[in-house]
Amino acid sequence: MSRPKYVAIFHANLNYAFLVPENYERVIRASYEVIFDGFAKHPEAKYVFEASGYTIEQMAKVTPDVLEKLKAAVERGQCEFMGAPYSHPIMANIPEEDGYWSCEFAQRIYEKHLGQRARSFWNPECTWMQYVPNAFRRAGVEYLTLDFESYMTSSDKDYGWVERNRTHDMNWGGHLPWYDLDPDCKFLHRPFKNIVPGLTGMCRSDRLIGKYLSYFRGSTTIEDFTSNMKKWTGSKKEGATIIIADDAEYCGTAGYYYVKYKGDYSRCFEVDPDAAKRLDALIVGVLKEGDLVTFIEGCEASEPVEEPFFVEDRMAWHRTYADAWANTPEARGWEPDLINMRLEYKNKYQPIVEAPENEEKFKDIVERFWLHMTNSANSDGRWPPPPLVTCEFNRDWVQNEIDTTKAVLAELAEATKGYSLPEPTEIVVPAKDDPAYGFNFTDKDPSDIAHLNAYEIQHAIYAAHKKVDCPKEPYHTDGLNELAAVFDELDARGQEGLRPDALAGKFNKSRIDVATND
């Protein structure tokens, strides 16, 4: 049997709460450089370094020599560079269009400083809305980090009964009960294909990741770390297992650990002089048990699971919700500004400046609007929640982005003088016998029902009913066929139940029977 495959992802974010610019170099050298130098001593060990566009941009300004070490590690194939939205917004708390632009701005920074666009991306805090993967895919992303606990809570009724967090305003679910999970659970080790067409993902889990922080804080031994890792590898040792997927800053500094857990604001990003030794021991300890591979290699290490990926709207990692970031006083105070700025742009300027005949002329101002608009949603300017207080620098950074967005809107008002908005699109009321559903609920082939997730398959029920309600043929019969096929699939997924009136008592489960009984 081949050796287990492990994935280590170090998440770098210089937009971090309580990380002020005068400490950027300290953190880069104490954390990021320690990671690059530490793995360079073990060329057989691969790893993933993930950074936001803002982080790479600041590294290029503050420590270009450290950035060169990252580039060298990527070029020799030891390090996979993973991207993230430019200024670390919570993707579920912003519209899809904003999320795309933040990813696109990051990709441009990677092209400029690393010579390539990232194929894999980190989803900040793993927050979810059904449109979130579309934003990443539109920016050219092929591989995405996913959250195991969110998936299982959304998809397994027994698991969800134990682990579901019923309090959307709770900031961390770590103290809630844990489901007694089989370590061979395939969703821990195998990828999901076509989350949306062309996007593959793999799950990280708090069952493993929590040991990373406690190890570098000195409360977990290397023996405890590897013992937990071996437990969750499972007996089958199939696919790959993500063992690290958390803040790179904790390898080398205290991060904002003392703020978060001790209420001590004086020790932010305090340097850990033993970090290099700890990292070396961790690499050696992991290599004794298996191989360290990249995230993309982990995603390609086994056949994907058969099940489609589904997470309920607003879920996030640590068994909490995107609401935790949306409900802080700063978030609630700023959100009306963000909504009004988007509405002003969309109603007054977007139809003009993004029209095909004008897009080249207004390209610069359009991109400046979207850059500062998306930066205005930076997550760490509105974190942590009470009773802790946010950092003045992070708050000021976001407020400056909001003010700059407003200034760009004033420029747009001046630049578009003399232009007329297009005539509003006439609203067309569909005919009663129109069989079209009229709502784009998936980019997958909707007839490939086995690969529709829970959100998509429920929309498919209503799309089929639209045809059933149409008196025209073959639409009526086609709708019955589709409806029967959807309910056959629900039966196969263990969601048996009474069928709708269109089928109950009149048609059998078989599609053939449905088609020949009318």
What pLDDT sits at residue 218? 94
Residue 422 domain flag: no
Residue 431 domain flag: no
512 pLDDT above the threshold of 70: no
pLDDT tens for 176-213 read 999 999 999 999 999 999 999 999 999 999 999 999 99
Average pLDDT of the residues of the chain = 95
Residues 406 and 268 in one domain: no
Residues 457 and 390 in one domain: no
What pLDDT sits at residue 115? 98
* Ramachandran angles phi, psi of 52, nearest 5°: -70, 165
Residue 423 domain flag: no
- Asked, as a colleague might, if the bond just before 124 is cis with ω within 30 of 0, I would say no
Instruction: Report the residue count for the chain.
Output: 518
Instruction: Extract long-range pairs of 508-512: CB within 8 Å, 24+ residues apart.
Output: 509/484, 510/484, 511/481, 511/484, 511/485
Cα 500–chain centre separation: 36
Cα 383–chain centre separation: 18
pLDDT band at 1 (very low <50, low <70, confident <90, very high): low
Element of type H or E holding 245 = strand 241-247
Mean pLDDT of 87-113: 98
What pLDDT sits at residue 511? 40
Residues 309 and 345 in one domain: no
47 pLDDT above the threshold of 90: yes
What pLDDT sits at residue 268? 93
Parallel/antiparallel/unpaired status of strands 241-247 and 291-293: unpaired
Residues 234 and 273 in one domain: yes
Q: What is the largest CA-CA distance in the chain?
A: 77
Residues 338 and 310 in one domain: no
Domain boundary among 287, 322, 357: 322
The CATH code of the domain that includes 37 is: 3.20.110.20
54 pLDDT above the threshold of 90: yes
Q: How many CA atoms lie within 13 A of 283 on its CB side?
A: 23
What pLDDT sits at residue 261? 85
505 pLDDT above the threshold of 90: no
pLDDT tens for 130-143 read 999 999 999 999 99
pLDDT tens for 208-239 read 999 999 999 999 999 999 999 999 999 998 99
What pLDDT sits at residue 463? 97
Residues 486 and 384 in one domain: no
What pLDDT sits at residue 508? 45
Cβ contacts of 433 within 8 Å, gap of 6 or more: 470, 471, 472
pLDDT tens for 363-395 read 999 999 999 999 999 999 999 999 999 999 999
pLDDT tens for 237-278 read 899 999 999 999 999 999 999 998 888 999 999 999 999 999
Least Cα distance to 393 among 2, 24, 1 occurs for 24
Report how far residue 251's alpha carbon sits from residue 30's, in angstroms, rounded to the nearest whole number.
8
pLDDT band at 301 (very low <50, low <70, confident <90, very high): very high
Residues 290 and 363 in one domain: no
pTM as predicted: 0.95
Q: Which domain holds residue 486?
A: 449-515
Least Cα distance to 354 among 427, 416, 401, 402 occurs for 416
Grouping H, G, I as helix, E, B as strand and the rest as coil, residue 147 is strand
Q: Which residue has the tokens 């069952």?
A: 207
Residues 273 and 396 in one domain: no
What pLDDT sits at residue 502? 80
Mean pLDDT of 458-482: 94
Instruction: Extract long-range pairs of 401-404: CB within 8 Å, 24+ residues apart.
Output: 401/87, 401/372, 401/375, 401/376, 402/334, 402/337, 402/338, 402/341, 402/372, 402/376, 404/372
By CB atoms closer than 10 A (0-12, 13-18, 19+), residue 194 is middle
- The tally of domains found in the chain comes to 3
